[in-house]
Amino acid sequence: MSDMTTNSFRRAVHPRSIVRVLLSVPLAYAGTAALLAFAYVARPALVSPVLLLLIVRQAAPLAIAVLGQSLCMRVLSLDLSVGGVILAVSYILTSGILRLPEPVLLIICVLFGAAVGAANAFFITRIKASSVIVTLATALILSGVVFSLSQLRAPGEAPAILRYLGQTRIGIVPISPLFWLAIFLPVALFLRMSVFGRYVDAIGANPRAALISGIPYVRIVTVAHILSSILAVFSGFVLVGFVGAGSLDIGRDLPLTSLVAVILGGVTFGSGKGGSLGPAVAAFMLTFSFNLLTSLGVGEPGKLMLQGAIIALAATRRNPD
């Protein structure tokens, strides 16, 4: 072995190098492994194949929403309108306010999501407003409209096609995770292999330099927000189908939970180191942790405290230089 090879090997196994590698791995992977190990000892029923698949089904709406949230964060933006979009979609689909065939209603919901994303992007890119304020205002407006309309016509039963999507299984495998996979793979490949994905990384690294270099900043951020809202619509499809009916509380926790999952998955403002898979693993981790806490008798306050602790831990975590 040459001296150069030996030195390279020594640097690779140096404790500082090992720590750097470990810290560069998203927390979601280690957290998921730790939770599964703990559950195997404390609640072995939770790690049975049937229950794990049910938990994956529960995680599917969050995993879809996380894709859009991570895309916005990679271009130094944020989307807090996810919950409002899902609530509006739920009302459109279940209230009967639009007496149209189910496939037409689904298309209308997708177009509605695209319009919401475009409106968010307009205020963020053209008016230079804060993405937090804009998307939070959008969520509040959509929620207010739905609450007002619900006084006249309450939400009802979910369309049959969505109940099939959210509740049917092929053998022991639920359909909703397969639906998530059908969305995840094209989006992940597109971001990894397309010019759009490279533009997203460039804007996240240095938006001013990206703008000067001729990268269409406004267009990229607009597409990111449109995709985020459309993915929120798809998340709503699965969530409404899983619940089986509309609700005025549906999707309420998804904006905060999606932020937690994105951070745990290794994606922060301007950084996409966790890729698309990291946040997806984090979505499963959070859903599994909530089920584990429920099985241990921990109520909603405990779950909220866990979310806060996770956010604090992920926010203070730093990769070594």
Position 286 pLDDT exceeds 80: yes
| Residue 39 in domain | yes
Quote the radius of gyration of the chain (alpha carbons, Å). 21
| Residue 15 in domain | no
- pLDDT of 88 reads 96
Question: Do 176 and 57 touch, CB atoms closer than 8 A?
Answer: yes
| Residue 244 in domain | yes
Q: Tell me the average pLDDT across 107-120.
A: 97
| Dihedral angle, C-alpha 217, 221, 223, 226, nearest 10 ° | -160
- pLDDT of 10 reads 53
> Across the chain, where does the E strand assignment appear?
169-170, 173-174
Give the CATH number of the domain where residue 289 resides. Answer: 1.10.3470
Confidence band of 270 (pLDDT split at 50, 70, 90): low
- pLDDT of 320 reads 39
Closest CA to 283 of 39, 52, 70, 63: 63
Position 177 pLDDT exceeds 80: yes
Give CA–CA dist 173/177, Å, rounded: 8
Closest CA to 126 of 216, 218, 215: 218
The length of the chain in residues reads: 321
| Residue 134 in domain | yes
| Residue 99 in domain | yes
Give CA–CA dist 135/235, Å, rounded: 17
- pLDDT of 229 reads 97
Count how many domains the chain has: 1
Q: Tell me the average pLDDT across 48-57.
A: 92
Mean pLDDT score of the chain:
86
Question: Do 246 and 95 touch, CB atoms closer than 8 A?
Answer: yes
Confidence band of 269 (pLDDT split at 50, 70, 90): confident
| Residue 1 in domain | no
Residue 304 lies in domain: 27-316
Position 6 pLDDT exceeds 60: no
- pLDDT of 78 reads 92
| Residue 5 in domain | no
- pLDDT of 15 reads 56
Position 188 pLDDT exceeds 70: yes
Position 257 pLDDT exceeds 60: yes
18-32, 64-78, 83-97, 239-253 — which is least confidently predicted? 18-32
Residues 6+ apart with CB under 8 A from 267: 70, 73, 74, 273, 274, 275, 278, 279
Backbone φ, ψ for residue 80 (5° rounding): -95, 5
Position 194 pLDDT exceeds 60: yes
pLDDT tens per residue, range 23-32: 567 788 988 9
Which residues are registered as beta bridge partners of 157?
Answer: 245
pLDDT exceeding 70 applies to what percent of the chain?
88
pLDDT tens per residue, range 289-318: 889 888 888 777 777 777 777 767 666 654
- pLDDT of 2 reads 52
Q: Tell me the average pLDDT across 89-98.
A: 92
| Residue 14 in domain | no
pLDDT exceeding 90 applies to what percent of the chain?
57
Between 85 and 18, whose confidence is greater? 85
Give CA–CA dist 162/180, Å, rounded: 14
Q: Tell me the average pLDDT across 55-67.
A: 94
pLDDT tens per residue, range 218-238: 999 999 999 999 999 999 999
Give CA–CA dist 168/267, Å, rounded: 32
Position 250 pLDDT exceeds 50: yes
Alpha helix ranges (H) inside 43-174: 49-74, 82-94, 102-125, 131-150, 160-167
